[in-house]
Amino acid sequence: MQAAILPVAAGWQWIQDGARLFRRQPMPMFFWSLVTGFFVTVAYLIPILGQMMLITAMPLLTFMSLCACRHIEAGQPMRLAMWMEPLHDKDTRKRLIRLGLAYMICCLLGGFLATLPFMDSIMAAVGDGTKINEAALMLAIRGPFIVFAFLYIIISALFWHAPALIGWHKIKLKQALFFSMVACWRNKWPFLVYGLSWGAVFLSIQLLGNLMVELGMTDSVAQVLLTPVNIVVAALVYCSFYPTYISVFGANYPTLDEAR
């Protein structure tokens, strides 16, 4: 699999292309954003197991998003039944589940490696559990969060293109992870722009919420007003996944007609 090397500006172009896909069929992607948001909410209601299941399902959900964008790009209206089409193939489904398990293991391992060097300070802040020093605890967990953030960049690079490579190209798991890592490394500057741009968008929404509260709104009202905004932004993020793949691996990409 040959990965293209793109200019820095491609990072912003991916977001623009994702917005273009969203404008072509906004309601299906808005619906998908609602569904994934529901999955996330349910997962966090189930301690530990729910989060593990959500992490494992991420490659499946990502591949479904990519396939939806593929249909939209081809000018095909997204019908309800089409969302499950990517999972009809048993072999593809198994491969993506294995990818999800590998993703979960990597995330757990990353969390363990990030936390281990700071265990003494965390345990000291927790003490015997009767009276936790919150300030000391927040200071103690800052280190693990920073370390995990760096480790997660590596994990993300490994798995970013893997769902498409496995689902569309039937590439083996190890090869898909390798190709994804190489592609992300070769396009590290566009991905930096891409990540910073989305970070700025999410920060702006957070600041807008804070401003609304400062102007006299209650937290609940501000949250309700911002909910549609968050759903739309999440849908735009999902739409932008497709351009990040197609622009890098487009030369190897089978069209819908070829896939059939």
pLDDT tens for residues 117-171? 888 888 877 776 667 777 777 888 888 999 999 999 999 999 999 999 999 999 9
Q: Helices 162-169 and 49-73 sit at what angle, rounded to 10 degrees?
A: 60
Question: In this predicted structure, what is the pLDDT of residue 121?
Answer: 83
pLDDT band for 57, please (50, 70, 90 cuts): very high
Residue 174 lies in a domain: yes
For the entire predicted model, the pTM comes to: 0.89
State the residue for tokens 């480790």.
151
Residue 2 lies in a domain: no
Using a 10 angstrom Cβ sphere, with 0-12 exposed, 13-18 middle and 19 or more buried, the burial of residue 48 is exposed
Residue 5 lies in a domain: no
Q: Which amino acid is at 227?
A: T
Over residues 162-209, the pLDDT tens digits come to 999 999 999 999 999 999 999 999 999 999 999 999 999 999 999 999
Give, in order, the Cα–Cα distances in Å from 22 to each of 212, 220, 224, 233: 27, 28, 22, 10
CA angle 242, 102, 29 (to 5 degrees): 25
Report the domain count for the chain.
Answer: 1
- Contact between 247 and 10 under an 8 Å Cβ cutoff? The reply is yes
Residue 120 lies in a domain: yes
d(CA 41, CA 155): 23
Give, in order, the Cα–Cα distances in Å from 179 to each of 72, 100, 174, 232, 249: 26, 17, 9, 31, 10
| Range of the structural domain that residue 53 is part of | 10-259
Residue 191 lies in a domain: yes
Residue 1 lies in a domain: no
- Helices of type H across the chain: 10-24, 26-45, 49-73, 90-115, 119-126, 134-159, 162-169, 173-186, 188-214, 219-249, 256-259
Q: What is the 3-state secondary structure (H, E, C) of 84-116?
A: HHHHCCHHHHHHHHHHHHHHHHHHHHHHHHHHH
Residue 32 lies in a domain: yes
Residue 111 lies in a domain: yes
Q: Residue 28: which of 73, 94, 92 has the closest Cα?
A: 73
d(CA 178, CA 139): 36
Over residues 221-233, the pLDDT tens digits come to 999 999 999 999 9
